[in-house]
Structure 1
Amino acid sequence: MNLARFCWHAGPVSEQVMLLENIGTSVHVTENQLSDLHQLMVEAANILCIEVPDLYVRQNPVPNAYTLAIGGRKPFVVVHTSIVELLTRRELQAVLAHELGHLKCDHGIWLTFANILTLGAYTIPGLGSFIAQTFEEQLFRWVRAAELTCDRAALLVVQDPKVVISVLMKLAGGCPSLAGQLNVDAFLEQARSYDAASSNPLGWYLR
């Protein structure tokens, strides 16, 4: 249940394709276009001491938000219309702050570097496959830790743990018609039961 899905550095051709495709299929958020959403981004960026990236809203039924950092260009954040409909104003700012956390920490650079190492390991004769699989396992753990770091960035901005938890809850099993009935305290109790169920060595590994 993470807020962001990816932060990506790509090659020149892919970068241009993604940039044009995004501009052509999304609405660019500015002070003159969806100004309330723009203000949420500006406030979050100022709190985290980071340059305000471009922000786009894209029509998509899957609640999601992601960051694209394209070499030599200003990075941008994309939010889907479904996540805008699902969340409150403060929850939406938590999502934006989470995405800013990826940019603040340069997660895209490190993820790219780790992927290159993994691909290179597969080319090593003999133990290459074992080394690559080890890299992949550690990379997965790193990605989860990176998402947690960005959840902390969200908390720094909204200053309320229940707002961040509510975002995670709604992404796990929320929809606009049920949003008003969801209970953060009950969701926290569910999380505690998960911790208890995964307290053995096998559970720790699987989680």
Structure 2
Amino acid sequence: MRWKAGKQILLTITLLLLVSGVSAQHFSTEAKLKSAFIFNFSRLIDWPEWLFDKEKPVINICTLATDELNNILKNYQGRHSNDYAFNLVPLKSADNYQHCHLLYVDKEHPDANQYIKKITNTFGILLVSNIPNFSQCQGDIEITASENGKLSLIVNQLNTRKSGLKISSRILIRSKILQTTECPE
């Protein structure tokens, strides 16, 4: 059962990459997969309804990320995720994150660690990053890469519950699950 769900997620990600035209451009495989994960998170997370403008149903995906990742994510702009249009919002700083539904902070961003400290404990925002130990401390989902380039997920359910978010079992089944907020020193 677990293998079948994993194959479905992998197939979905692969199809999204092919349909979006991302594969025709010269981006790293890791960046392409991260962008597919981020787009799929927008489809597989339940946010409280009151967070959305009923007149303009968009899901704001904010990034403090590299130009490479932002350029790939632009391919998803305007696509629909459940009842909401995908709206990419590249941020220059973490000062304007309040309108975000999902915030991705890349460890390659020059001020990533500084910004992460500003945006913790925010209700209704899914915090995603590839910063090591991010999920153990303040994050909801950490995207990790093994030495062979395979990406995996670590989900901190305690943090997501505090944020008022519900994560689909389609994400959880393929993730390492944490129930802690104890940050390693």
Q: Which has the higher contact order (CA 8 A, sep 6+)?
A: 1
Higher helix share: 1
